[in-house]
Chain A
Amino acid sequence: MDMPRPDDGLIARRDRIVARLRAVLPADAVIDAPVETRAYECDGFTAYRCPPLAVVLPRSTGEVAAALRVCHEEGVPVVPRGAGTSLSGGALPTADSVVLGVARMNAVLEMDTADRFIRVQTGRTNLSVSTAVEDAGFFYAPDPSSQLACAIAGNIAMNSGGAHCLKYGVTTNNLLGLTMVLMDGTVVVLGGAHLDAPGIDLLGVVCGSEGQLGVVTEAVLRILPRPEGARPVLIAFATAQAAGACVADIIRAGVLPVAIEFMDRPCIRACEAHAKAGYPDCEALLIVEVEGAEAEIAHQLGLIAAIARRHAPLEIRESRSAEESARIWLGRKSAFGAMGRINDYICLDGTIPVSELPGVLAAVGELSARFGLEVANVFHAGDGNMHPLILFDANAPGELARAEALGAEILKLCVAAGGCLTGEHGVGVEKRDLMGVQFTPEDLEAQMRVKDAFDPNWLLNPAKVFPLHLSAGRRAA
C-alpha cells in the first residue's frame, strides 16, 4: 500500500500553518509536539503509521469551520478523526496533513422520545448515545462491536453496522440529519427531525463517504423503544453447508431474527481455549437471537428449531435464562480477542449473497490451504457480511505480505460471488487498490465527481477510497 509523497512545501511551512491555527482556536486545541502527534499516527489498522503535521481538537462547529478555513487557504490536506478505531486506515494521516479530531465534541444537544430522536455532537461514543436514552426505555440501534470506543462521527463516515443490523439496518437507515462543515468552512445542515430529503438526498451520500466530503459535527439519530426481551439459540452443525442452508431457510420462513452469527471450527476452538463458553466442538455453529415478549420469543425459537432440525443439527441449545444467554454470547463476543491472543490477524469484511455462503466458505478453505495460512470465520450470517480472520505471525518475514495477498484473493472471491469488498469497515487505504475489482473506471469516476462537488480541491482525506492513479490528477489540482 502506497501513500502519496508528502508535499515538502507544506512541511516547510509547518510553523506558519500551526501559528495560523493557534490564532483561530483555543490554545489547547492545537497540538504539534511530535510526542503528542504520535498518538494520531494510525487508527485501528495499525500496519501503517505516519504522524501528521499537526492535530486540532475543536469543541464546536464554529471552531471546526475556523480550522478548516485556515487549512483551505493554506492548501493543507485534512484528515477527520473520531475515535480512531477504523479497521481500514480511514483516519491514517500523511506527513503533510492536519488531523481534525472531533473527540472533544461529545455533548447531547437534544433528546425527544415523542419524536424519537436524539441530537448529539459527533465526537460522542456510540454506546453513550444508547446510554443517554436508556432510562427513557429507548436505544440507538447500530451497535458495532467497537461501540464502547468508536464515535458517531466515524460511524457516519463508515456507515457502520453492528450485530443487530439484520433487523434494524445500519447507520444510514438510522440517521435523520447532520451538520457538517465543508473544506472551505461553509456550514451545511442536512435533514433534521423529519423524514426524507425534499430533493437530492445529500444526507444519504455523506453517510459512508469516509471523511472525504465534509467534517460532520452534529447528528440527528433515530432512537427506538427497547424490545421487551431477547433470547438466543445456539445450533451446532457437522458442515458449514448445513449451517448456511439453515440460515437461508430461517430468513425465508418470515422469522426476522435480530442477529444470526456464524462461527467455524478454527474460531470455535480459539474461543473455547480463551473464553471457555462451553461451545460444542463442531464444524460450524449459529447463534440466532430473537426479540419480543416471552411467549413471542418462545414461538419464534420454536420455529427456528423446527427449521434447524431439517438440517441435521448436532445440537440445539436454547437459552432459558439471562445467564444462559450470556454464556451463548460469551464465546462470540470474545472471538476477536481470542484470536488476537493466539495470533496476529487481518480481519476482512466482504459481503456475499447469503445463498453463496457454503460455496464461498469452501473456496476460502481452499485458498487458505494454498497460501498456507489458517483462516477462521466468524460473521454476521444473516446479511452475508463475512469476517474471515487471516492468522499469521507478524515476526515471520514475508508473512504479512502473504496474509495481505490471501486477503485480496478472498475479497475478489466475494465480489465474484455477487458481493462486495467491504460490508461495514470501509475502504480506507486497506481496500483502496482493490476498488477496480468491483467497479469500472466509469463507476469510480461517478463517485469522484461527488467529491469534486463537495471538495473541489481534494483536500479532505484525499488519499483514501480511490486508487491513487485514478485520483492523481484531482489531488494535484
Chain B
Amino acid sequence: MIRPASEAEVAEAVRAARGPLAVQGGGTRGPAGAGTPLSTSALSGVVLHEPAALTLVVRAGTPVAEVERLLAAEGQRLPFEPMDHRPLLGTAGTPTIGGVAAANVSGPRRIQAGAARDAMLGVRFVDGSGTVVANGGRVMKNVTGYDLVKLLAGSRGGLGILTEIALKVLPVPEAAATLCLPGLEPARAVAAMAAALGTPWEVTAAAHDPGPSPRTWLRIEGFAQSVAYRAGRLAAALAPFGVAEVETNAASVTAQWQAIRDVTCLAGRAGDVWRVSVRPSEAAGLLARARAQAALMDWGGGLVWLLSPAGEDMRSRLGCFDGHATLVRAAPATHARLGTLHPAPPPVAALAAALRARFDPRGILGGGWA
C-alpha cells in the first residue's frame, strides 16, 4: 500500500508507477479495482476554514466525520448531505471527503441545495502523468477558464487523484420539520412530492418508501418561525393526498433523514442494489417495471434505490428512460458482466474516452471504473 503524505509524494508515486494504481480514500465502497493500492488517508487536515465566507478547504483524505465535526462547531454543515455507504455496502473504513467528491455523493438535500459538484469551488489533483493541476478556487463565483472541478467531481478517480478540495458550506438552520403522508401508491406519492416541490415553501427533501405500509416524507428547514408557518401551509396544500403528520423533534427529524440518506432500509438484505437517477414523473412506471424486492425513492422521485435478486440485469428490465442506473452493490463478477455505470451513447462515450486518454495516457488510474 502506497500512502503518500503530501501532494508532491502523490505526484512522485504516480510518475513512478509501472502499472495501474487502485486509488482509495477510506475504502468504504469496497476495493477500488485491480492494481497497486494507493491510499489518500495521510493527505488529511484542514487547509483553511473561513466561516464568514462559507468556505472550507481540506485535503482529500480528511475523514468526512472530521469535516462535519469542524463545521458543526461553527454551526455549519455540508449543504449536499453526503450519504455514508457503510451500512448499505456492509463495509468498514473511514469515509473521506475526497471519496465523496470523486463520486459526487449527494443525499436528500440535493434537490434543493445542489449536489457535491455544486458545492465544490476548487480542486487540486494529480493527473495520470504525475502532474499537479489546480482548478477553480475558493470563491463562490468563478468562471476563469474551464470548470475542471465539475469534471473531476464524479470522475471516480479516472482523470486524476484529488489532493485538495475547496467547498462551499452553509449555516445549519435553526429548525427542521418532517411531514409524513401515509398510504400513497408510488404514482400518487410522486405527484404529492411534485406538488410540494412546486410550492414556494422550499421543501429541502422529498422521499417515499413504497414498502408494505407506504410513507411519503417532506422536509422543511429554516428559522423556527418559518418552519412552523411553512409546515402548516404545506400540510394544507397537500390535503388532497391525505392528512400529514408533522414531526418537529430535532433528533427524530435528523435520524429519519439520515436513514433515508443512507438507504438503511436496504442494508443487510441479500441481493444487488441499484441506484437510478430518473425524470421524477417516470419514477412510478420505472418502479413497476423493476419488480424489485424492495425500493426507496428520494429526490421527489428523481432517485430510485432498488433491491433485486443477485446477478439480475436490472437495466434491461427498466428499458428506455430519461436517466441512468448505477450498480452500487453486487458481486465483482456482476459488476464486470453488467458494468457499474450506465452505458453512455457512443458520442458521449467517445468524449469521455478521449478525456481519459489525455488525462491518464498510461491508463493507470482506471481502477475506479471497475
**Could you list which residues of chain A lie within 8 angstroms of chain B, going by C-beta atoms?**
112-116, 137-138, 158-159, 161, 165-166, 169-170, 172-173, 182, 186-190, 192-205, 207-209, 225-228, 248-249, 251-254, 256, 292-293, 295-296, 299-300, 351-355, 380, 383-385, 418-427, 431, 435, 438-440, 442-447, 449-454, 465
What are the 7 closest A-B residue pairs judged by CB atoms, nearest first?
A204-B150, A254-B171, A423-B141, A194-B323, A453-B354, A193-B279, A383-B140
Task: Let me know if A420 and B142 touch, CB within 8 A.
Answer: yes
16 other contacts beyond A195-B110, A227-B200, A449-B359, with CB at 8 A cut-off?
A159-B147, A172-B147, A188-B347, A188-B348, A188-B351, A195-B111, A201-B154, A204-B153, A208-B147, A225-B197, A251-B52, A254-B75, A351-B141, A384-B140, A422-B143, A453-B351
Would A450 and B143 be within 8 Å (CB), given that A115-B280, A354-B52 are in contact? no
**Min distance, Cβ A184 to any Cβ of chain B, angstroms:** 10
Task: Let me know if A198 and B324 touch, CB within 8 A.
Answer: yes
Which residues does chain A contribute within 8 Å of B326, judged by CB atoms?
Answer: 198
**Min distance, Cβ B323 to any Cβ of chain A, angstroms:** 4
Task: Let me know if B225 and A199 touch, CB within 8 A.
Answer: no
Task: Report, as a range, how many residues of chain B touch the other chain.
Answer: 35 or more
**Cβ of B302 under 8 Å from chain A:** yes
User: 1/0 per residue B98-114: CB within 8 Å of A?
Assistant: 00000010100011001
Task: Let me know if B154 and A197 touch, CB within 8 A.
Answer: yes
Task: Let me know if A173 and B194 touch, CB within 8 A.
Answer: no
**Min distance, Cβ A194 to any Cβ of chain B, angstroms:** 4
Which residues does chain A contribute within 8 Å of B173, judged by CB atoms?
Answer: 254
A-B pairs with beta carbons under 8 Å apart, 28 shown: A165-B141, A172-B147, A173-B114, A188-B348, A193-B279, A194-B322, A195-B110, A195-B115, A195-B299, A197-B154, A199-B154, A199-B344, A200-B159, A204-B147, A227-B200, A248-B53, A249-B52, A293-B229, A299-B223, A351-B140, A353-B138, A353-B139, A385-B141, A419-B139, A423-B139, A447-B135, A450-B146, A453-B354
Would A187 and B299 be within 8 Å (CB), given that A205-B147, A353-B55, A418-B138 are in contact? no
A137 CA / B151 CA spacing, docked (Å): 34
Would A192 and B322 be within 8 Å (CB), given that A159-B143, A421-B144 are in contact? yes
Which residues does chain A contribute within 8 Å of B115, judged by CB atoms?
Answer: 195-196
A453 CA / B351 CA spacing, docked (Å): 6
**Cβ of B289 under 8 Å from chain A:** no
Which residues does chain B contribute within 8 Å of A201, judged by CB atoms?
Answer: 104, 117, 150-151, 153-155
Task: Let me know if B141 and A442 touch, CB within 8 A.
Answer: no
**Could you list which residues of chain B lie within 8 angstroms of chain A, going by C-beta atoms?**
50-55, 75, 104, 106, 110-111, 114-115, 117-118, 127, 131-135, 137-151, 153-156, 158-159, 170-174, 191, 194, 197-200, 223, 225-226, 229, 277-281, 299, 302-303, 322-324, 326, 341-342, 344-345, 347-348, 351-352, 354-359
**Min distance, Cβ B289 to any Cβ of chain A, angstroms:** 16
Nearest neighbor of B154 in chain A, beta-carbon distance? A201
Which residues does chain A contribute within 8 Å of B354, judged by CB atoms?
Answer: 452-454
Which residues does chain A contribute within 8 Å of B159, judged by CB atoms?
Answer: 200
Task: Let me know if A208 and B158 touch, CB within 8 A.
Answer: no
Which residues does chain B contribute within 8 Å of A254, judged by CB atoms?
Answer: 75, 171-174
Task: Let me know if A353 and B303 touch, CB within 8 A.
Answer: no
**Min distance, Cβ B158 to any Cβ of chain A, angstroms:** 7
Task: Let me know if B351 and A198 touch, CB within 8 A.
Answer: no
Task: Let me know if A161 and B299 touch, CB within 8 A.
Answer: no
Nearest neighbor of B369 in chain A, beta-carbon distance? A199
Task: Let me know if B229 and A296 touch, CB within 8 A.
Answer: yes
- Our pick among B106, B111, B154, B198 for the contact of A200 (Cβ within 8 Å) is B154
A195 CA / B51 CA spacing, docked (Å): 29
A423 CA / B364 CA spacing, docked (Å): 35
Which residues does chain B contribute within 8 Å of A296, judged by CB atoms?
Answer: 223, 225-226, 229
Task: Let me know if A202 and B141 touch, CB within 8 A.
Answer: no
A165 CA / B54 CA spacing, docked (Å): 15
Which residues does chain B contribute within 8 Å of A208, judged by CB atoms?
Answer: 143, 146-147
A440 CA / B145 CA spacing, docked (Å): 12
- Our pick among A159, A293, A418, A450 for the contact of B139 (Cβ within 8 Å) is A418
Would A173 and B118 be within 8 Å (CB), given that A355-B52, A438-B144, A442-B133 are in contact? yes
Which residues does chain A contribute within 8 Å of B75, judged by CB atoms?
Answer: 254
A391 CA / B140 CA spacing, docked (Å): 27
Task: Let me know if B141 and A170 touch, CB within 8 A.
Answer: yes
Which residues does chain B contribute within 8 Å of A227, judged by CB atoms?
Answer: 200
Task: Let me know if A447 and B279 touch, CB within 8 A.
Answer: no
Which residues does chain A contribute within 8 Å of B55, judged by CB atoms?
Answer: 353
A453 CA / B151 CA spacing, docked (Å): 13
A91 CA / B191 CA spacing, docked (Å): 43
**Min distance, Cβ B146 to any Cβ of chain A, angstroms:** 4
A114 CA / B279 CA spacing, docked (Å): 10
A442 CA / B131 CA spacing, docked (Å): 7
A300 CA / B118 CA spacing, docked (Å): 26
